[in-house]
Amino acid sequence: MTAAAVRSATEADAPALVGLLALLGHRMTAPEIAARIRTLQEAGIPQLVAADGDQVVGICGLHQMTAIHRPKPVGRITILAVREDCQGRGIGKALVAAAADHFRGQGCGLLEVTSNDRLGDAHAFYVRAGFARTSKRFALTLD
């Protein structure tokens, strides 16, 4: 049982990320993903991937924000997915640990994760990883 190496995503990872994002219902093309990786890199916000050799097997999307009601910035995992045939190898745990290390280094005081209500197995994973359910999130699609 070996964990994959965690590193910052590059635009070259985009084709492999298509399938990982699709696991969570996000239908995107490789060029769309590459453009978002580039935009986030330019903003200084890395996205993490787990690679097993030359195969990308996991993604952890990161975002950071300053909130008026928090004394320190907040780090957020915006998406976390591991290829189904690679689950159970500690890859998700390694991605979460790398995200936490990144945000600690950025002076964040809180790491939060958002997860779709339908992903019960993911919720159990987050609890095992030390996260506590603190709120519900509501969304309004804007035109």
Q: What is the CATH number of the domain that holds 31?
A: 3.40.630.30
Mean pLDDT across 129-138: 70
42-93, pLDDT tens digit by residue? 999 999 999 999 999 999 999 999 999 999 999 999 999 999 999 989 999 9
Whether residue 136 is contained in a domain is answered as no
Whether residue 133 is contained in a domain is answered as no
Whether residue 142 is contained in a domain is answered as no
3-32, pLDDT tens digit by residue? 689 999 999 999 999 999 999 899 999 999
pLDDT at 1: 41
Whether residue 46 is contained in a domain is answered as yes
Note the pTM of the prediction, 2 decimals: 0.86
Average pLDDT over the chain, rounded to whole? 88
Domain that holds residue 84: 5-128
Count of domains in the chain? Answer: 1
Give the DSSP per-residue string, 78-134. Answer: EEEEE-GGGTTSSHHHHHHHHHHHHHHHTT-SEEEE---TT-HHHHHHHHHTT----
